[in-house]
Homo-oligomer: A and B are copies of this chain.
Amino acid sequence: MAAEHQHAYESVNVALGERSYAIHIGDLGLGQSNLLRDLLVPHIGGSQVAIITNDVVGPLYAHVIAEALPDFHVDLYQLPDGEASKTLETYGLLMDFLMQARHNRSTTLIALGGGVVGDLVGFVAATFQRGVSFIQVPTTLLAQVDSSVGGKTAVNHPNGKNMIGAFYQPAAVLADTGVLQSLPQREYAAGLAEVLKYGVIYDAAFFQWLEANADALRERDGTALGYAIRRSCEIKADVVSDDEREQGRRAILNYGHTFGHAIENLSGYGTWLHGEAVAIGMVMAAALSQQVAGLDQAQAHRQTALIQKLGLPVSLSGKSLEPSAFIAAMGMDKKVVDGRMRFILARSLGDVFVADDVPEAELLHLLETFL
């Protein structure tokens, strides 16, 4: 007889009033179990379900979800894997699919995949018949600690990432740590960049814990991974609950991202993974913080050391980017408020703030060092 599989999971509540939802983190049995049904069914209001996934994750897990929902009419749509699917065109194809399969306002969408699937399906859910329910089943570390928390949904525009979208919360998030074991190493490490970010922006003790557990995390130890995801979700949930629509405090989540987006933009999407670009961006943000925000050198070095220990890059290879092009690329970033350039800077590990008065000369000095 087969041994009973043990499922251990914890839940983080994202407190947003009537839009609150739970993130369940742990070994949720995307492989084999009834736990899945128990976690999914309470959030399905009608008789229709559409699983939307990509052609890498779909073949592995979509049938498990479908089998966990025998009492529902379940349709499946598989997108090509990758950022190229995150367009208004694909969004239109998904609307066609839902209309042709006659899904109604009480349907539930299940987003099974990484950040691309989550962002795209979330935006479809936000706008199909002016909003239907959706459940996130993120299958990458990055999606589990970042895009599944906070309700940001979007597709890209040819002139900029995430330019078309909505704030829209899922009914629940299922973050299965089991699926992370099979992630490619580079993609896994890229997810750790965002985990590390939460320590820097919010919680010096968590940063220390990451330093102490860096080896366990690199080896994908289940216990360490579960805690890292939970604490990351808690921190993001705290920040998001305070500022659901990104008017102020929530901006600190963009630490390293203004630089990171410019790096992604100029290197051509695909050269760096998002998390890798953010890792380099955090090194740049710390350097700028040393220049203008009094961050001391030892703390900046600890950040760089941890980034390296987690298997992430700390500089651009080749020094080939033009400062003026880099500034323009940052200027296209949607975090610009009325022409003023904003940066998230660190006073110390665990304490960051929004600066909108960085002198251009300081920025140029930084870029000359890094590009």
A interface residues with partner B (beta carbon < 8 Å):
46-47, 88, 92, 95-96, 99-100, 104-106, 123, 126-131, 152-154, 157-160, 162-167, 245-246, 334, 336-339
Contacts and interface: CB of A to CB of B under 8 A. Distances in A.
B338 A127 contact: no
Contact of A95 (B92, B128, B163): B163
Contact of A104 (B106, B164, B338): B338
A95 B157 contact: yes
A334 B105 contact: yes
Nearest to A151: B130
A126 B166 contact: yes
Contact of A47 (B153, B159, B338): B338
Contacts of A104: 334, 336-338
A99 B160 contact: yes
Given A126-B166, A166-B126, A245 B95 contact: no
Given A104-B336, A104-B337, A334-B105, A166 B127 contact: yes
Give the oligomeric copy count.
2
A158 B131 CA distance: 18
Contacts of A152: 130
21 contacts: A46-B338, A88-B88, A88-B95, A95-B163, A96-B157, A99-B160, A99-B163, A100-B159, A104-B334, A104-B337, A104-B338, A106-B338, A126-B166, A128-B163, A129-B163, A129-B164, A129-B165, A129-B334, A130-B152, A130-B162, A166-B166
A231 to B, nearest CB: 26
Contacts of A167: 130-131
B164 A128 contact: yes
B166 A154 contact: no
B99 A157 contact: yes
Contacts of A153: 130
Contacts of A47: 338-339
A248 to B, nearest CB: 13
A130 to B, nearest CB: 5
Contacts of A95: 88, 157, 163-164
A19 to B, nearest CB: 11
A157 B128 CA distance: 10
Contacts of A338: 46-47, 104, 106
Given A157-B95, A157-B99, A159-B99, A105 B166 contact: no
Contacts of A157: 95-96, 99
Contacts of A245: 131
Nearest to A126: B166
Contacts of A131: 166-167, 245
B128 A337 contact: no
A88 to B, nearest CB: 5
A166 B106 contact: no
Given A47-B339, A88-B92, A130-B246, 10 more contacts: A99-B159, A105-B336, A105-B337, A106-B337, A123-B127, A127-B165, A129-B164, A130-B162, A130-B166, A130-B167
A129 B160 CA distance: 10
A99 B152 CA distance: 19
A49 to B, nearest CB: 13
Nearest to A334: B129
A36 to B, nearest CB: 23
A25 B118 CA distance: 42
